[in-house]
Structure 1
Amino acid sequence: METWFTIIISLSLIFLLRVLLSLLQKSSTTKINKPFPPGPTHIPIISPLIWLTKSVSQIEPIVKNLHAKYGPIVTLRIGSNPTVFINDRFIVHQIHQMIVLGQTWSHQPHFFCKRHIINRPKNLHIEDFISSNQHNITSSSYGTTWRVLRRNLSAEMLHPSRVKYFAQIRKWVLDVLLKRLKSDMKSSDSVKAMDHFQHAMFSLLVFMCFGQRVDDEKLNDIEQGERNLLLSLEKFNVLNYWPKITKVLFRKRWEDLLKLRSNQEMVLVPLIRARKEAKKSGLCYDNNNPRAYVDTLLDLKLPNEGQRNLDEGEMVTLCSEFLSAGIYTKCGLG
């Protein structure tokens, strides 16, 4: 009992010291920072913890009421950085144009990005963990790595000249879809069409990603791993707030996140290794076996990191991004 009491007191003191240092640092830079849009009163320590324990479904109605009170732009301090919510389409369009401009000028980092600092906001701790330290397209900072990954996806997989090579696979997926629909129609009064369409799309995406057809059991394992990770992210938000402390206080949540990532790797890594071995054995590409996304990742090199290849963890992250972006509207490609 005394040991646990000592640990709790020590952690509390570390927590309070970190807060004081953070407040001192912020107060020293307040004069040079521009003010944020209006929002509710921010109480250090208490406000961030309250927001981080809420899910998206709980925050949405609160934000709606805040828009009615403060206007179309509202600031909430969720975690260590302010978060701005916008509900005006015209303002969102203007911001979108600014993002497009930022992507354009990010190809010339020595001129525009260094002077005007057009970039994505800094990732939270959990985002860094899920993205293999920003080695994916949706969260990587604008720069060399982001350009290489984005160009690879656009040119090697999404370009019309590449998409046509998967025509035979699309035909196979369509045949599978029709058979599943007909079978369901015979066996039940109602048909859940969405489930069958999602299964068909995921089958296509898995083939495009790994270059092989997988059985339903393996397909379900892949989909379950992606779904579990996406649906569980909200409960890990609290780990973004002073990770060194919250990982101890919320140890069970941190272990759950590690397990979800481990399960994802257990399913995807064998598929990556199988494709790697196939390439070594002189795999040739044709209409029945077009170049898969994993093939492009195996050949990819990171120029700003010593021309090294991607490791397996980074390839798992990029494959997960590819699959999730294709089947879940929650994810984009940046």
Structure 2
Amino acid sequence: MEQIEIYLISLIITTILFIFLLNLIFKRNLNQNLPPSPPSLPILGHLHLLKKPLHRTLHHLSQTYGPVYLLRFGSRLALVVSSPSLAEECFIKNDVVFANRPRLMSGKHLSYNYNTVGASSYGHLWRNLRRVATVELLSATKLNMFLDIRQDEVKSMVKNLFMESKSKQGFTRVEMQSRCSELSFNIIMRMVAGNRYFGHKSNAIEEAERFRTIIREIFELAGASPEDFIPILRWIDYKNIEKRMLAVRDKVDVFMQRLIEEHRHHGGDEIRSKTMVDGMLSLQDIDPQYNSDEIIKGMIMTMLSAGTDTSSVTIEWAMSLILNNPEVLKKAASEINDCVGQDRLVNETDLSKLPYIQSIANETLRLFPAAPLLLPHENSEACTIGGYDVPRGTILFVNAWAIHRDSSIWEEPTKFKPERFSHGGEECEGFKWIPYGMGRRKCPGGGLANKVVCLALAALVQCFEWERVSVELVDMLEGSGLTMPKAVPLEAMCKAREEMVDVLKQL
């Protein structure tokens, strides 16, 4: 009983001190020309306003408070930007200032104590991680080394669809979400470690399912939690979030360390010697200080978490869009037929001759960017955005989803029109199309994602006829999650194109 009383007294004192600290902070800010802000509550600030999906909630607030406004999440400030000019001001004029990431509990526990390219603060460590990611792992030369893997996995997906559909007459109902997920997961895992986890060639299905469950847990726990903004909640581990993060971290670490040890002891294996893990182990031999096992595990974690769901959800959204727009599907099939033909499966080297497929991918990313709010930034010093003062340590959210649907920038912004990207990439320039972010912390995996998405779309369109499961349009509501999944997983009717049957039989 005495312990409970002491705990309650401590809680009350801490709450009073917390409120006092907030008052000091915001009295200091009264003398500044801060951006507009909605009315807030004591302690919570604006946390009570946040509803899912978050990008829609923040867009709704921008309709009242403008393209730049300030929110208070507990003890921390957040700036929300939703116009190209302001995004440019953040990522060009103030690129270095906003090059930091906010320190969140998920970054500590799920990103190896902020030692990943996505979570680390701007500085020497980040520059080294960025160099490894862009030069050693994701450069054009390195991606070309893995071309056969991407083509083999797309061929495998197409073959499985064909085998499933040929046993039935007419169209076959297929579920696409798991197929897209398995495709991207196999590609990344084979590039990273040489292992194929799903499909008829896999011998590690149980391990794969176990790790995919871990990845799912990471996505559920990643990002900000209430404890990041109201520190007192961390003392009582609100909803066991920190405990869950620690449990997931331990499971991930065991999996990653096993991968590293496996490659460390079988470095001469011909198949595995070309993987990303082996490349990073080679760097470790040269400079062990900056390429420790922890750094390698963090890089693997980044590749698996950032490189799987992002591509798979984009393919699923793209297929949903073309099913709702049959004229687009017809035009895409015609382009592939004219440029590739019907006597072989489309391959990655054909993509440069398929601008309409690229336009479909770009338009999909415009309407349904995999990171609708990009990754959050934080300013290392006070700055000015849109004529307003932004205090040091403010978290920055750039609402790419809102920018991509701004009627002052885009004609018929909610309509699916791949043709708007058919003018030599002009629509991709500037800050009105930013699915991968901008500035020095732009996503380094955009090139890989584009190759996977475009090749998968081209193969699915080339090999099969597609229809909706009913006369009703495919549901296009967004679900909750960091990568904006569909609320209702895509199901579709597919049938092998008669002119492609002989090619499919030979796969």
Where in structure 2 are there 5+ consecutive unaligned residues?
Answer: 198-203, 311-369, 376-435, 437-442, 445-507
Whole-Å Cα distance in 2 between the matches of residues 290 and 277 of structure 1? 11
How big is each residue's C-alpha offset from its partner over 1:141-188, in whole Å with a ceiling of 9 and x where there is no partner? 222111111111111221222222223323432342123212332578
How big is each residue's C-alpha offset from its partner over 1:265-306, in whole Å with a ceiling of 9 and x where there is no partner? 233321122112223xxx165xx44532222333446x9xx9
Whole-Å Cα distance in 1 between the matches of residues 218 and 307 of structure 2? 16
Q: Which residue of the partner structure matches residue 77 of structure 1?
A: 72
**Shift in CA distance, 134/148, structure 1 to aligned 2, threshold 3 Å:** same
Aligned-residue offset at 1:79: 3.7
Whole-Å Cα distance in 1 between the matches of residues 5 and 167 of structure 2? 61
**Shift in CA distance, 55/218, structure 1 to aligned 2, threshold 3 Å:** farther
**Shift in CA distance, 224/83, structure 1 to aligned 2, threshold 3 Å:** same
Verify the 8 A CA contact 1:47 1:78 in the aligned structure 2: yes
**Shift in CA distance, 67/168, structure 1 to aligned 2, threshold 3 Å:** closer
Q: Which residue of the partner structure matches residue 146 of structure 1?
A: 126
Letter in 2 for 1:326: G
* Residue 193 (structure 1) aligned with residue 191 (structure 2): no
Whole-Å Cα distance in 2 between the matches of residues 200 and 66 of structure 1? 37
Whole-Å Cα distance in 2 between the matches of residues 200 and 324 of structure 1? 14
Aligned-residue offset at 1:307: 6.0
Q: Which residue of the partner structure matches residue 114 of structure 1?
A: none
Whole-Å Cα distance in 1 between the matches of residues 167 and 51 of structure 2? 38
Letter in 2 for 1:40: P
Within 5 Å, give how 1:98-113 maps onto structure 2. 98=93, 102=96
Verify the 8 A CA contact 2:45 2:71 in the aligned structure 1: no
Question: Percent identity of the aligned residues?
Answer: 21
Aligned-residue offset at 1:205: 0.3
**Shift in CA distance, 216/186, structure 1 to aligned 2, threshold 3 Å:** farther
Verify the 8 A CA contact 1:72 1:87 in the aligned structure 2: yes
Per mean C-alpha deviation after superposition, the further-off stretch among 138-147 and 165-174 is 165-174
Per mean C-alpha deviation after superposition, the further-off stretch among 151-160 and 16-25 is 16-25
**Shift in CA distance, 206/97, structure 1 to aligned 2, threshold 3 Å:** same
Find the partner of 2:244 among 238, 241, 256: 256
Within 5 Å, give how 1:151-162 maps onto structure 2. 151-162=131-142
Higher helix share: 1
Whole-Å Cα distance in 1 between the matches of residues 288 and 27 of structure 2? 42
Q: Which residue of the partner structure matches residue 228 of structure 1?
A: 217
Q: Which residue of the partner structure matches residue 123 of structure 1?
A: 103
TM-score, normalising length from structure 2? Answer: 0.53
Whole-Å Cα distance in 2 between the matches of residues 132 and 13 of structure 1? 33
Verify the 8 A CA contact 1:119 1:142 in the aligned structure 2: yes
Letter in 1 for 2:123: G
Q: Which residue of the partner structure matches residue 469 of structure 2?
A: none
Verify the 8 A CA contact 1:11 1:245 in the aligned structure 2: no
TM-score, normalising length from structure 1? Answer: 0.77
Q: Which residue of the partner structure matches residue 106 of structure 1?
A: none
Q: Which residue of the partner structure matches residue 36 of structure 1?
A: 34
Where in structure 1 are there 5+ consecutive unaligned residues?
Answer: 103-116
Aligned-residue offset at 1:15: 3.1
Within 5 Å, give how 1:160-175 maps onto structure 2. 160-175=140-155
The runs of 4+ residues in structure 1 deviating greater than 6 Å are none
RCO (CA 8 Å, sep 6+): is it higher in 1 or 2? 2
* Residue 319 (structure 1) aligned with residue 317 (structure 2): no
Q: Which residue of the partner structure matches residue 216 of structure 1?
A: 205
Whole-Å Cα distance in 2 between the matches of residues 200 and 119 of structure 1? 33
RMSD of Structure 2 on Structure 1 (CA): 3.2
Whole-Å Cα distance in 2 between the matches of residues 315 and 55 of structure 1? 36
* Residue 204 (structure 1) aligned with residue 187 (structure 2): yes
Q: How many residues align?
A: 306
* Residue 298 (structure 1) aligned with residue 287 (structure 2): no
Letter in 2 for 1:231: E
Letter in 1 for 2:8: I
Whole-Å Cα distance in 2 between the matches of residues 213 and 121 of structure 1? 33
How big is each residue's C-alpha offset from its partner over 1:195-239, in whole Å with a ceiling of 9 and x where there is no partner? 2232122101011112333433322222221122112336x6112
* Residue 274 (structure 1) aligned with residue 252 (structure 2): no
Q: Which residue of the partner structure matches residue 427 of structure 2?
A: none
